[in-house]
Amino acid sequence: MPTPVLRGALTAALALLALATPAVAGTSPATAAPALPAPPALPVTAGASAPPVLSRPTGPHRVGTTTLHLVDGSRPDPWVTTEKARELMVSLWYPSRASRGRRAPYMTPRESALLLKGQGIEGVPGEVLSGTRTNAFVGVPPLGRGHGLPLVVLSPGFTLPRSSLTALAEDLASRGYVVAGVDHTYESFGTVLPGGRTATCVACEEWGSPGFGPKATRSRAADVSFVLDRLTGAHPSWRHAGLIDPSRVAAAGHSLGGGSATWTMLADTRVRAGVNMDGAFHVPLPAGGLGRPFLILGEPKAHEPDGKDTTWRRDWPRMTGWRRWLTVDGADHVSFTDYPLLTGQLGLGAGPLPGPRALEITRRYVGAFFDLHLRGRSRPLLDRPSPRYPEIRFWG
């Protein structure tokens, strides 16, 4: 059996992450790369070599998916100035009736190898994550009526690909949402582009500089707005875009992706609600505040009111609309992604909160927030502590 990953090892690895605790007093607002749960010292056993499997979605619908390559010719790439246009790879997940078809790949073998190499994970084949079994079928017909489906845009953590939030995306789609997962090119360890090209983490070269956090936040806001243009504008890039209700749009993300959601909402009034999963706010809310619904959901060491990340308590008073501040006992920085679920199955160890439980909590609370604010459905889960989820602490 592989040596289990101890809480201390995880804590030591996560202590290196400025994303989890970046803007504490006297420190730079720069962001560090989120780390997967640390691997064990021993190699993976044969019993742990089967491809990992994403948990089944909880909604009533099957899930379809497609991939878009979007090119914004109105602005150069912020990280590679010789690129005169900004390229984005976007995955869409949506409800469908299809019960069979070709299952979507989780990521490409090249992306898997670059992610594991970037995280310093050894002892497993580089392509192992690309074999993860997903629940979505490629290109199957969507279910819905014109302008009937709310849209959620998901933004991953710094260095992480859009696939890191697939289990959440599939669950939302199974419950009747269109979900757009965005790869922020040159900010992940690897993004495969058309024509066999691979964009690596050029932005990592700027990490640690004083202006990195604000620059990355504003760049991500621009990326999300462009994706909204291409999904809800006059000439959409998806042929089924007419199913999307442009008046019911939300932005959510993990780490840097979540911390960018407030700025995205300030910059783009189409975004009606937002969720930050364990990310610091690198650009402070202005004095006028943010008057639309916002959920902050994090791990306790950084994000309880007296935690290391001071940006949550700095911006909390300026969230003037519906708001909730929740933490999850036992969670760490990556508990809100797919990785605790996947690494546990691969024998690489997991965080203190088991992967299936972490995913259940994330799906339930994020889904309840969107149901309330994009569909107007009462969700008492967000009003008070629940005996079913004793890990959740309410701070506001």
- The DSSP code sequence of 47-107 is GG-SPPBPPPP-SSSEEEEEEEEEEETTS--SS-TT--SEEEEEEEEEEE----SPBPPSS
Residue 391 lies in a domain: no
Q: Give the residue-averaged pLDDT of 210-236.
A: 97
Buried b (16+ CB within 10 A) or exposed e, 325-357: bbbbebbbbbbbbbbbbbbbbbbbbbbbbebeb
What are the two backbone dihedrals, phi and then psi, of residue 69, each rounded to the nearest 5 degrees? -110, 110
Residue 380, C-beta contacts closer than 8 angstroms, at least 6 positions apart: none
Question: HEC string of 260-310?
Answer: CHHHHHHHCCCEEEEEEECCCCCCCCCCCCECCCEEEEECHHHHCCCCCCC
Residue 158: is its pLDDT beyond 50? Answer: yes
Residue 309 lies in a domain: yes
- Supply the pLDDT for residue 232: 98
Give the pLDDT band (50/70/90) at residue 350. Answer: low
Give the pLDDT band (50/70/90) at residue 49. Answer: low
Cα angle, residue 386 at apex, residues 383 and 387 outer, rounded to 5°: 165
Residue 343 lies in a domain: yes
d(CA 114, CA 85): 24
Residue 313: is its pLDDT beyond 70? Answer: yes
d(CA 364, CA 359): 8
- Supply the pLDDT for residue 343: 87
d(CA 13, CA 16): 6
Beta strands 62-72; 86-96: pairing state: antiparallel
Residue 155 lies in a domain: yes
Domain residues for the domain of 64 are 7-384
Residue 390 lies in a domain: no
Domain count for the chain: 1
Residue 380 lies in a domain: yes
Mean pLDDT of the chain: 88
- Supply the pLDDT for residue 42: 23
Residue 389 lies in a domain: no
pLDDT per position as a tens digit, 64-94 = 999 999 999 999 999 999 999 999 999 999 9
Q: Give the residue-averaged pLDDT of 197-211.
A: 96
Residue 331 lies in a domain: yes
What predicted TM-score, i.e. pTM, was given to this entire model? 0.90
The CATH number given to whatever domain includes residue 209 is: 3.40.50.1820
Give the pLDDT band (50/70/90) at residue 324. Answer: very high
Residue 358, C-beta contacts closer than 8 angstroms, at least 6 positions apart: 328, 331, 335, 336, 340, 341, 351
Q: What percentage of residues in the chain have a pLDDT greater than 70? A: 87
Residue 9: is its pLDDT beyond 50? Answer: no
Residue 26: is its pLDDT beyond 90? Answer: no
| Beta bridge partner(s), residue 182 | 90
Residue 31: is its pLDDT beyond 60? Answer: no
